[in-house]
């Protein structure tokens, strides 16, 4: 089989694997887009358009959604080289009966109209699930999110803890915690009790992970009142993996678009997590790093620590150049049973398809180059390896 | 078309684009070489030869230029694997009627003679411009450089400010500043006035950028007497881009050859420029990073900050392995209108051709692999994308 | 010749070059394995199996070696994607008449039996030398190791100095030093004398290098009682290269398997060695970096410092993804006469073959892609370049 034929064949096999997406920001009561505005409102488009010169005038809540979409699309001829633009074209083709190869300003209105029509279908959510071959998707829940009214076998709750760890002293947080747990935190024991109550609540609702994003200079320590450490203790007790998303500095570009303000400091090391990884051998830590430059640390720490596993390709590293390099390194140095291949990080379900599509093509090419062409794996075995990264490991590691 | 045919076709198309080179160290009154000694005196050759074992005896001002060239060439069989050697062979073939494939010790005298003959041509400067397809080239001017006596439409002045920021207290600097501005700096207001006067002077002469190179531990702050901050304020007022060349430690190898003493500390982050980038949204910062390991930061900061743009491939990162990786990442994550593809950093005009030649081949291969082969761009569109990186963005960003 | 044909042809040529392996942990009196247990006891297998879930129960000294091997092999279906697994299959095929393509649990006993039989051959050591095409291999000797009873032309002594520099105050070290040198260290002058005596002892026994591994935060300084600085002074006097293996943090994973506890902090820079490299221009420093992210520093420092040379691909960077990238960068930026291509770091001689085999394939592919296909070198010249990295430079730099 030709090189391209092999990659296509593997990609097709991977496309057929039902997805369990272990990290997203989907709202389960409003999981799909209502119009093109929900698609183009994703920070990837607003920030690229703004970075390329678009003013933020039309990004406010009072602006007309159609005008906003026109404007973001109008600027696409400045960023149609990017991977993110590629996702958008993929969405237009997959969900909006768009047949062109490139989206330009003149397509804006037709796409907007098509979105209103398509997304209004009663079964749109089911259609997206079906076209995406999506089985389950993890949520990102604030500790006091409502966890009722949706199918938690499909929308898997996940306790997100940034607020508890980094904003506990901000006004209202203790009150919210008291409201949801019935515990008024006044000292370390009551804090500990309240945190534990959150885990009880989430586990009762089928939560499958605890998660947090962390700044580059963060080092967890066990000092008595550390909420972070309490989270790890509860992950141990409740047997939940603790997703660590390491490396983000919030609000670096203060006047950036919504969700387009965060950056990083590459001077960050997993050595900062040394004490944590040693203290909790029973807790699995699916680790995402923000920068590809930290991938070798992730490979090495996962190579020897049983409880550290590489998790997907996050944010600024979620473009083919970094995914390809990082994936190859992980495949050469980390046991395959520890590789959580990918997650969509999507805010709306329509993004799961193009993002996983990008990943599957890279996965197919990488496995073809690394294993099939050198004669190490035949095609059937290669499909099994890809299935492991796409699905099996998510099931085993997150117990879903 | 075959893979190689496509790359060759794109390279040929890129070769036909007139160059505007946005950073060099050309002396406008002595822009071309007078003999092979000016070519081989470039620090890339003296430092590689010295690193490979050549003594510095013949590098002094009293040594015979022909002997020096013989010696540097004699050592080439120790560094003929390097990209820099490739530039030299390219120069010999393009400008010195050399027809071999490799330059060795026995070629030294013939090349030296050929250089004397070729470079003595009355129109040598024009010949180099023509062969190089060079339209304009930016200079690197000390604040008190003479800006008269040359065509500033061809040799574009650029205010280089390392001396002002890092050597202001060294003997003679205040005097030089007083001489060129007529302002005797005694306090912050007079300093501010003098700095502004420099911008007036440079802009009047057609300057198109302010530039500085910065050590890895530098963090700009707005404290009152910061000359750096004043420079940014004047860039805003005079609408000049401010080139930041980030990451060089000077004189690390103290006994190294001239200009071959500087290295770096990779523990450097663009987060150090957070306050600057936020404070000057009106100023465009073309940023060069010394290490490829900082390229993901440059991609990410350029991806969300409208005023941060990636600028070329600098010094230790100006070899194909780093150019190729960095370029691919930039093309996947940064709006194409923000990518200043390349600059020569040349001290003599003869180097513009081989350096841009290297870049164009990498650009052709990258665009072929990333856009044409996957079917995203046809060849005409691919040429347009390359033209944007090679020329259009320089024109738009530097307003030339 | 086809692309693959060229790589195969170069690989075959490189396979024919007798190896001088400049760094290993071979015990000269027990250089080969006695059973499969010596092969699978290598930390790469115990740590990968443990990382993939294997308990450490069978790793203790009292466990049955056959049971241990069964268990490590049983877990291979969790890490059979790794480069290290590839070495093992290569060993089975090369030394254990194994004819399959993959080793699985059911092969454990047969392999164990085969190892007992093969390794019991009287001339097994000679067989391994012959099959490996190995000429000499460097040792890693504690300062008081016995250096008698083996052929030092084949097993080249090398003074390893971690204990002296980092554990000098631990109980027993001064006594060991006194015993081997006859000098009872009480102050700086006696310390200096004792250190010098070690060099006399090692050089008399044919030692060809001094070596040390260093944590990421180490910065050598000349303060009076610095043993590190004394080592460098003696390297100068005795004309020994000083191998620096930079970047390892010991015992990060405290409960990891034997030799599987060390990791790193990527925030490490060669700028920390600035004073050292300047102070000892007469000493050659073959430098290994633990992380590929530091390779550009190594390229740049080697590019201008005559006494800094890149040395092999160490530990966590010794997998194809990092070797390939790092090698390509070194070949483009560092004089070829300064590139020490590879060392095995082996504990048993059977590992030299698969590790060098991996390296030679990457070297062949890299030289083919970088030099032969672009027309810069013909195949004969390409073989010469590879020979330089594999053998010539080891001979010249280490004077063997
Ligand atoms: Zn997320
Ligand atoms: Zn420059
Ligand atoms: Zn070693």
Structural domains of chain B, with CATH: 33-119 (1.10.2020.10), 139-398 (3.20.20.140)
Residues of B in contact with C331 (CB under 8 A): 81-82
* CB spacing of A51 vs B303 below 8 angstroms: yes
pLDDT digits (tens, 9 = 90+) for C78-91: 999 999 999 999 99
Which of B266, B300, B371, B373 best probes binding to A when mutated, by most A CB atoms within 10 angstroms?
Answer: B300
- Separation CA C51–CA C48 (nearest Å): 5
Is A52 in CB contact (< 8 Å) with chain B? yes
First to last CA, chain A: 36
Distance from CA of A259 to the nearest CA of B (A): 10
CA-closest candidate to residue B202, choices B147, B149, B163: B147
* CB spacing of B51 vs C303 below 8 angstroms: yes
Is A267 in CB contact (< 8 Å) with chain C? yes
What's the mean pLDDT in B147-169? 97
**C-alpha distance from residue A84 to each of A12, A40, A314, B338 (Å):** 22, 11, 14, 16
Nearest by CB: B306 against A51, A252, A261: A51
Question: CB of B32 within 8 A of CB of B129?
Answer: no
Answer whether residue B1 shows pLDDT above 80.
Answer: no
CA–centroid distance, C23 to ligand 3, in Å, is 6
CA-closest candidate to residue C315, choices C59, C84, C31, C53: C84
HSE-up of B193 (CA within 13 Å, CB side)?
A: 11
Q: Which residues have CB less than 5 Å away from ligand 3 (the ion)?
A: C 345
Answer whether residue C15 shows pLDDT above 80.
Answer: yes
HSE-up of A180 (CA within 13 Å, CB side)?
A: 20
Angle of helix C65-74 relative to helix C43-51, nearest 10 degrees, comes to 60
Nearest by CB: C253 against A304, A328, A337: A304
Element (H, E) at C288: strand C285-289
pLDDT of residue A224: 81
With a pLDDT cut of 90, the percent of chain B lying above it is: 98
Give CA torsion, residues A276, A280, A281, A286, to 10 deg: -70
Is C100 in CB contact (< 8 Å) with chain B? no
Angle of helix B83-95 relative to helix B124-132, nearest 10 degrees, comes to 120
E-assigned strands of B145-195?
155-156, 158-160
Nearest by CB: A338 against C52, C249, C260: C52
pLDDT of residue B77: 98
**C-alpha distance from residue B148 to each of B141, B153, B162 (Å):** 12, 12, 22
pLDDT of residue C2: 81
DSSP string, A44-85: HHHHHHHHTT--SGGGSTTS-HHHHHHHHHHTHHHHTTSHHH
Of the pLDDT bands very low, low, confident and very high (cuts 50, 70, 90), residue C225 is: confident
pLDDT of residue C329: 98
* CB spacing of A316 vs B333 below 8 angstroms: yes
pLDDT of residue C98: 96
- Cα B45 to chain center, whole Å? 17
Query: Average pLDDT by consecutive 10-residue portion of chain A (400 residues)?
Result: 90 98 98 98 98 97 97 98 98 96 96 98 98 98 98 98 97 97 96 98 98 98 93 98 98 97 97 98 98 98 98 98 98 98 98 98 98 96 98 98
What's the mean pLDDT in B381-385? 98
pLDDT of residue C3: 79
Q: Over the range B232-260, which residues count as b (16 or more CB within 10 Å of their CB) and which as e?
A: bbbbeebebbbbbbbbbbeebbeebbeeb
HSE-up of A134 (CA within 13 Å, CB side)?
A: 33
Answer whether residue B48 shows pLDDT above 80.
Answer: yes
Residue of C nearest to B320 (CA): C332
What's the mean pLDDT in B171-177? 96
Is C270 in CB contact (< 8 Å) with chain B? yes
* CB spacing of C335 vs B51 below 8 angstroms: yes
Kindly report the backbone phi and psi dihedral angles of residue A96, in degrees, each rounded to the nearest multiple of 5, phi listed first. -125, 30
Helix/strand/coil for C122: coil
Q: Over the range A77-104, which residues count as b (16 or more CB within 10 Å of their CB) and which as e?
A: bbbbbbbbbbbbbbbbebbbebeeeebe
CA-closest candidate to residue B26, choices B138, B168, B119: B138
CA-closest candidate to residue B293, choices B221, B386, B216: B216
CA-closest candidate to residue C300, choices C291, C310, C313, C314: C310
- Separation CA C82–CA C76 (nearest Å): 10
pLDDT of residue B317: 98
Nearest by CB: B304 against A51, A101, A320: A51
DSSP string, B106-119: GGHHHHHHHHHHHH
Answer whether residue B2 shows pLDDT above 90.
Answer: no
Give CA torsion, residues B31, B32, B37, B41, to 10 deg: 40
Question: CB of B329 within 8 A of CB of A321?
Answer: yes
* CB spacing of A267 vs B269 below 8 angstroms: yes
DSSP string, A138-174: E--B-TT----SS-TTTEE--EE-HHHHHSTTSTTHH
Tell me whether strands B158-160 and B155-156 are parallel, antiparallel or unpaired. Answer: unpaired
- Across the B/C interface, how many CB contacts are shorter than 8 Å? 103
């Amino acid at each position: 089989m030709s090189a391209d034929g092999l990659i296509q064949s593997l990609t097709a096999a991977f496309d057929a694997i039902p997805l369990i997406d272990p990290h997203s920001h989907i709202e389960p009561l409003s999981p799909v887009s209502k119009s093109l505005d929900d698609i183009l409102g994703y920070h990837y488009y607003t920030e690229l358009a703004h970075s390329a010169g678009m003013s933020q005038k039309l990004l406010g809540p009072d602006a007309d959604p159609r005008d906003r979409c026109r404007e973001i699309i109008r600027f696409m001829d400045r960023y149609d080289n990017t991977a993110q633009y590629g996702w958008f074209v993929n969405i237009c083709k997959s969900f909006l009966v768009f047949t062109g190869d490139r989206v330009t300003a003149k397509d804006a209105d037709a796409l907007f109209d098509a979105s209103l029509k398509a997304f209004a279908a009663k079964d749109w959510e089911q259609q997206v699930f079906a076209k995406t071959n999506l089985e389950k998707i993890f949520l990102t829940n604030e500790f006091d999110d409502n966890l009722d009214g949706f199918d938690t076998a499909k929308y898997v709750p996940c306790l997100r803890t940034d607020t508890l760890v980094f904003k506990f002293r901000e006004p209202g947080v203790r009150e919210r915690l008291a409201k949801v747990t019935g515990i008024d935190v006044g000292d370390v024991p009551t804090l500990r009790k309240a945190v534990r109550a959150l885990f009880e609540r989430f586990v009762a609702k089928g939560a499958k992970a605890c998660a947090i994003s962390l700044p580059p200079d963060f080092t967890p320590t066990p000092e008595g009142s550390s909420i972070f450490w309490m989270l790890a203790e509860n992950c141990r007790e409740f047997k939940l993996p603790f997703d660590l998303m390491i490396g983000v500095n919030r609000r670096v570009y203060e006047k950036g678009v919504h969700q387009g303000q965060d950056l990083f400091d590459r001077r960050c090391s997993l050595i900062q997590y040394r004490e944590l990884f040693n203290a909790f051998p029973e807790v699995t830590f699916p680790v995402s790093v923000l920068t590809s430059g930290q991938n070798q640390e992730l490979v090495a720490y996962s190579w020897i620590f049983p409880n550290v596993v590489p998790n997907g390709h996050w944010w600024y590293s979620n473009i083919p150049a970094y995914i390809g390099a990082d994936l190859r390194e992980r495949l050469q140095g980390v046991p395959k049973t520890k590789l959580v291949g990918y997650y969509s990080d999507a805010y709306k379900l329509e993004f799961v398809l193009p993002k996983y599509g990008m990943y599957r093509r890279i996965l197919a090419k990488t496995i073809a180059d690394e294993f099939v062409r050198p004669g190490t794996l035949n095609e059937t075995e290669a499909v099994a390896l890809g299935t492991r990264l796409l699905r099996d490991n998510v099931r085993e590691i997150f117990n879903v």
